[in-house]
Amino acid sequence: MVYVKVIPNVTEPEVISGPTLMEVAGVFTFVYRPELGGWKMHAFGDHVLPEDLVRPAPSESPL
């Protein structure tokens, strides 16, 4: 899983070197799905916990 935060009002690249409070417009949750051959965007909004993901049944997965 990968979480990508969307930060509003960013106009230039910025390096953040430590913990920083900032507004987050949303979070993309990407999940690697080998049965689909790559990454799938699972959700946008709040991050999705790994235990909340729907996984294919072993009989449905080509691997």
- Checking if the pLDDT of 20 tops 90, the result is no
Confidence band for 63, pLDDT divided at 50, 70 and 90: very low
What mean pLDDT comes out for the span 13-27? 89
- Checking if the pLDDT of 56 tops 80, the result is no
Per the model's pLDDT, the better-predicted residue between 6 and 53 turns out to be 6
What mean pLDDT comes out for the span 13-36? 89
18, two tokens: 């430590």
Give 34's contacts (C-beta < 8 A, 6+ positions apart): 63
- Checking if the pLDDT of 44 tops 90, the result is yes
